[in-house]
């Protein structure tokens, strides 16, 4: 299947849709999930148009993996979860709903239900605060 230039992440990259950006560089964009599975749920995407992990350059993928690790460390410091889940889904049967490669960093706490998909959008002010918390710890990693 071909890449859909009108997917929501492509629109975010072009500035046509809003996002609570945590960090941006020449290869990737890190931002808060609008429908988080838990507080601090963050997404990392390549700027390269790639439908999934099977269609991204190895250079961009390497960068995205390193960024995912950085974000996981920052989320761990910012929110002190009991665990941190990293998720990456490819194609609809695997659960992919936005067809632009992305990695989820999802903090988890013991005893908390683990929904596969969130059902509600988060409050924008909470997403903004969470982005600031994570950004603070990312700066400490550099």
The catalytically annotated residue of 20, 63, 100, 102 is 102
Active site residue 55: no
Pairwise CA distance, residues 71 & 40, whole Å: 10
Of 141, 140, 129, nearest in space to 22 by CA: 129
Q: Is 80 left (phi over 0), alpha (psi -120 to 50) or beta?
A: left
Fill in the DSSP letter of residue 27.
S
Catalytic residues: 102
């Amino acid at each position: 299947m071909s890449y859909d230039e009108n997917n929501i992440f492509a629109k975010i990259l072009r500035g046509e849709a809003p996002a609570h950006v945590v960090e941006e560089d020449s290869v990737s964009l890190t931002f808060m999930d609008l429908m988080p599975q838990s507080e601090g749920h963050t997404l990392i995407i390549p700027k390269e148009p790639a439908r999934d992990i099977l269609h991204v350059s190895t250079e961009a993928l390497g960068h995205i993996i390193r960024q995912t690790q950085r974000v996981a460390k920052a989320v761990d410091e910012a929110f002190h979860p009991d665990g941190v889940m990293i998720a990456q889904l490819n194609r609809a049967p695997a659960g992919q709903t936005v067809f632009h490669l992305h990695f989820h960093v999802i903090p988890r706490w013991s005893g908390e239900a683990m929904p596969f998909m969130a059902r509600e959008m988060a409050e924008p002010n909470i997403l903004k605060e969470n982005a600031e918390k994570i950004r603070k710890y990312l700066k400490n990693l550099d």
